[in-house]
Amino acid sequence: MAKNVEELDPDAKASRSVTRTIFTTVVFLASIAVLGGWASQGFYVISPGESAVILRFGGLDRIEVVEGFHLHFPPPIEYHKIVNTSGIRSLSFGTPSSISTPGVPADADETEISRELRRDAIQTADNNIVNVAYELQYKVADAYSFAFGMEDPAAILHDATEAVLRDVIGKSTIDAVLSQDRRKVEREAEQLLQSMLDSYFKDVGLNSAFRVDKINLLKLQPPPLVREAFADVVSAGQEEKRSLSTAAGDAKEILENARAEAAELREAAMAYKQARIIEARGQAVRFTALQAQYAAAPEVTRRRLYLETMEEVLPGMQKMIVESEAINMLPMIPMPSSAATPIRQKPTFKPIQRSGGDGATAGSGATQ
């Protein structure tokens, strides 16, 4: 009876239809809002220097590195985690903890662990104590290993860095650490720390989450009671380095001078060699020419050679050529350059005879 009444009442029927339409619209809009909110969880933005680790049903699916807007299936199908992989992060030891690169929020656990584990006294190989303040600079090498490879990678990094520095400094003497091998300690610590971190993640089949950039030894000081004495040691070490540098410079200068002198001597010797070769060739040519002249006119050539030889043997003296048959020959008395000049010695004459091939004889006399 009531059904028949509703069918006969058009107002009731219209009211019921409107109510149903409104309810359907509200449910539809609510469904769209819920689906939109769920789907919006799959939108994410990658900024410069960041990487996005995408997990599908809890396992690694991909790592996105392209900047801009991206979309993945909403949870619980896929999840994403943004990791900064380009910024240089820092961790301080022996001083108040420092934050990471500006613009990147510091890890709260990393800061707390660094503050609690601040210990700057390290024992050296010769059983001395040195207070060390140092800083680790590193980058995230693998986003997935950093985000999901270990339960607390920041704490592991802190403990590994401290263990490595204590190991490296513990193998060196305090003199070497304070005055000589600071950079050597830094390099050795960097290599050892990187190798240790790589082994940690390799054991679980992952790439290393960290890439060690640099370890800086900020402060190396002996204990306060002996600090003044060690300051003298450092000063002496610096003076030694200065002296060695000066000596190396002097040695280099001397070596360069010696090389220049040796080059000069070689050039002079080469020039002398060439001059002697040219002179010998000239003498050989002259001898060949004389030999040809001698073959053409032996007597004339013999006499000319004799006279030239006398000129060389008795240089700067007056010489006369006389005939061998001359018997009564008056000696020539040289007149002095001035009448006041006395004659100190009576001149003498001694004929020189030789027999020629054709019977002719030539002689020369010298007046002293």
* Residue 336 forms part of a structural domain: no
Instruction: Determine the average pLDDT of the residues in 114-134.
Output: 75
* Residue 51 forms part of a structural domain: no
CB-CB contact of 88 with 76 (8 Å): no
The model's pTM is: 0.49
Q: What is the pLDDT of residues 318-330, one digit of tens each?
A: 777 666 666 666 6
Q: Are residues 94 and 188 in the same domain?
A: yes
- Domain finish residue from 265, 291, 308: 308
pLDDT score of 347 more than 50 = no
Angle at CA of residue 46, ends 44 and 50, nearest 5° = 135
Tokens of 210: 């960290």
Model confidence at 5, pLDDT cuts 50, 70, 90, reads very low
CB-CB contact of 186 with 164 (8 Å): no
User: How remote is the C-alpha of 216 from its chain's centroid?
Assistant: 20
Separation of alpha carbons 25 and 15, rounded Å: 15
Model confidence at 56, pLDDT cuts 50, 70, 90, reads confident
* Residue 146 forms part of a structural domain: yes
Model confidence at 27, pLDDT cuts 50, 70, 90, reads confident
* Residue 72 forms part of a structural domain: no
* Residue 323 forms part of a structural domain: no
Q: What is the pLDDT of residues 233-290, one digit of tens each?
A: 768 878 888 899 999 999 999 999 999 999 999 999 999 999 999 999 998 998 888 7
Q: Are residues 104 and 197 in the same domain?
A: yes
Q: Which residues fall within 8 angstroms of residue 235, CB to CB, at 6 or more apart?
A: none
Model confidence at 348, pLDDT cuts 50, 70, 90, reads very low
Tokens of 175: 């003199």
Q: How many structural domains is the chain composed of?
A: 3
Tokens of 40: 């919006």
pLDDT, position 104: 45
Q: Are residues 31 and 122 in the same domain?
A: no
pLDDT score of 78 more than 80 = no
Half-sphere CA count of 81, side-chain side, radius 13 A = 16
Q: Are residues 215 and 189 in the same domain?
A: yes
Tokens of 203: 């054991």
pLDDT, position 360: 39
Average pLDDT, the chain: 75
Model confidence at 39, pLDDT cuts 50, 70, 90, reads low
- Domain finish residue from 282, 308, 334: 308
pLDDT score of 363 more than 50 = no
CATH code of the domain containing 189:
3.30.479.30
pLDDT, position 238: 80
pLDDT score of 344 more than 80 = no
pLDDT, position 95: 60
pLDDT, position 21: 78
Q: Are residues 97 and 203 in the same domain?
A: yes
Q: What is the pLDDT of residues 140-183, one digit of tens each?
A: 888 888 888 777 888 888 889 989 999 998 888 887 777 667 78
What is the sign of the dihedral through the CA atoms of 244, 246, 250 and 255? Answer: positive
pLDDT, position 96: 52
Higher pLDDT: 345 or 88? It is 88
* Residue 218 forms part of a structural domain: yes
Q: Are residues 192 and 243 in the same domain?
A: no
Residue 341 phi/psi, 5° resolution? -85, 115
pLDDT score of 197 more than 50 = yes
Q: Are residues 200 and 304 in the same domain?
A: no
- Looking at 22-36, 107-121, 210-224, 262-276, which range is the least confident one? 107-121
What are the distances in angstroms from CA 40 to CA 36, 44, 82, 98, 193?
Answer: 6, 9, 16, 36, 42
Q: Are residues 129 and 214 in the same domain?
A: yes
Q: Residue 9 is part of which domain span?
A: 1-40
* Residue 152 forms part of a structural domain: yes
Q: Are residues 93 and 205 in the same domain?
A: yes
Count each helix (H run) and each strand (E run) in the chain, helices first. 9, 11
Model confidence at 364, pLDDT cuts 50, 70, 90, reads very low
- Looking at 6-20, 197-211, 280-294, which range is the least confident one? 6-20
pLDDT, position 263: 93
What are the distances in angstroms from CA 151 to CA 59, 138, 145?
Answer: 16, 19, 10
What are the distances in angstroms from CA 60 to CA 74, 85, 96, 294?
Answer: 15, 17, 37, 111
- Looking at 201-215, 301-315, 324-338, which range is the least confident one? 324-338
Instruction: Determine the average pLDDT of the residues in 86-108.
Output: 62
Q: Are residues 296 and 205 in the same domain?
A: no
Residue 120 phi/psi, 5° resolution? -110, 0
Q: Are residues 258 and 150 in the same domain?
A: no
What are the distances in angstroms from CA 158 to CA 131, 173, 254?
Answer: 18, 24, 52
* Residue 184 forms part of a structural domain: yes
Q: Are residues 121 and 173 in the same domain?
A: yes
pLDDT score of 204 more than 90 = no
- Domain finish residue from 287, 308, 329: 308
For the chain, how big is the Rg over CA atoms in Å? 55
Model confidence at 305, pLDDT cuts 50, 70, 90, reads confident
Tokens of 41: 């969880």
